[in-house]
Amino acid sequence: MKKKTLSTLVVCGFILGLAGTAGATESRSQSLLYNLAFEDQTDMFMFPQLLPEYQGMYFHMPAAISNVFGGVVLGLDGAALGVFVHRPLISAFDQYRILVTDGVGGGVGLLGGGGAVAAEPHVAGQIFDVMYGTGSWGVSFRTHVWSDVSGQQGVLADPPVGNSAITADVNAGFKMGPGFQMRANLGFSEIKDFGFTLRAAAGTRYIAPGSSPMRLVMAGEFQLGILSPSTGDMSFGMAIPVKAGWNYSVLPEVLTVALLGGVDIQLLSPGGGDMKLGMAVPTVEIAAEWKALKWLELRTAIKGGYGVQFAGEANEDTPKYEQMAFSSGVGVMKGPFRFDTVLQYGLWQNGPWFIGGTPGLFAGVSLAYVWGDNVSYASPAPVAEAPLVAPTPKPAPAVKPAPAPESPAPAKDKPEFDGWEGNE
């Protein structure tokens, strides 16, 4: 037992040593670029009603130890309770978003995401997520108390002043029908010496149920943000991202490909300035997951788009906006255990470190132990084989006894010949 425990610790230490420099994200979702056509564990942070489907324990290990996070989801007689600590969170609609309103300062944050941002950064403090879901409805509460200290100071220098803040969010979700999920979110932030931010969102996703190899996928969200800074004018932002496409099982339970296209309408007024209207169209997302072996999954995804700003002052050098993101990863599973990784992009460009390429293999590593009766993130449970039972021999057919021989009938007495009668 001690030898097995030591081996486990050595493996975990080796994985941490290979981690790259990317921020903290869930590895499977990031390797698929948060494509909403795939269902996985991260869905419960948008739709808490799905909590019972993802009972288990989850950990993510990025390069920076300060950003390690994890949590557990426990079943409660048909429902489930989840608690996560220190998980940075941005909606899947906001991941790698194209910002097309040329916003600056706090106004950009009202729309969320942008560029290669995979998750909101945090330097210190604690984030707590408490969630409850029944399958048909759910609610989650998130709070974050932090102090952002910008850098190391000399031992005799005065300590820097922390930018203290408190944030809180309430997120409610409802199952409207088979494959049809909805959510509504309301949150605020109070940041010392900066101001007050109010955020609201309402979103939905539909994945056609059933066993058809090609299933329709539709998703959309309405987002609103208001920033009232301590000094200066208020900022206002609104966005409406919409996506639609298909989840296609090219080879059932072996190869799945998802294609989504969409549009993202964005309206922004930073600091009381001119109202800016932009649109990202088209946005295209392609993701694929291949189950190469029963215990091995390979994933890759690409996301890109083109945007134009229609109203408001824009940067003359870049009146149009383009963006492309690429990711890939590997997943290993053994029964209820999951080990998911995101491969560093530089690995494809420069090769591994031992030939002069990128040091480290992974941009993120996730470990999970899943349980429950309806866990789509776990590998299928093996089907128990029926025990072999020797067939009961059929009884020998009954032998019909041979009929008894019949006794010959007695011969009739012939009349005596009277030769005189014939000569009369």
pLDDT of residue 398: 59
pLDDT of residue 393: 61
Under a CB-based contact definition with an 8 Å cutoff, are residues 307 and 279 in contact? Answer: yes
pLDDT of residue 15: 30
> What are the structure tokens assigned to 392, written together?
């009961």
Under a CB-based contact definition with an 8 Å cutoff, are residues 337 and 331 in contact? Answer: no
Query: What contacts 22, CB < 8 A, 6 or more positions away?
Result: 62, 63, 118, 342, 344, 363, 364
Which residue stretches of the chain have pLDDT < 50?
Answer: 1-25, 105-108, 115-124, 149-161, 318, 374-386, 414, 417-424
Alpha helices, H only, 32-181:
43-46, 106-109
Domain 2-336+353-370 fold: Porin (2.40.160)
Question: How many angstroms separate the CA atoms of 315 and 63, rounded?
Answer: 35
Q: What are phi and psi of 98, to 5 degrees?
A: -85, 120
3-class DSSP state of 164: strand
pLDDT of residue 422: 42
Domain layout of the chain by residue ranges:
2-336+353-370
DSSP state of 65: G
pLDDT of residue 147: 62
pLDDT in tens, 354-388: 555 555 677 788 999 998 754 444 444 444 444 55
Query: What contacts 36, CB < 8 A, 6 or more positions away?
Result: 92, 93, 205, 217, 219, 243, 260
> Taking the model in full, what pTM does it have?
0.75
> 207 - beta bridge partners?
217
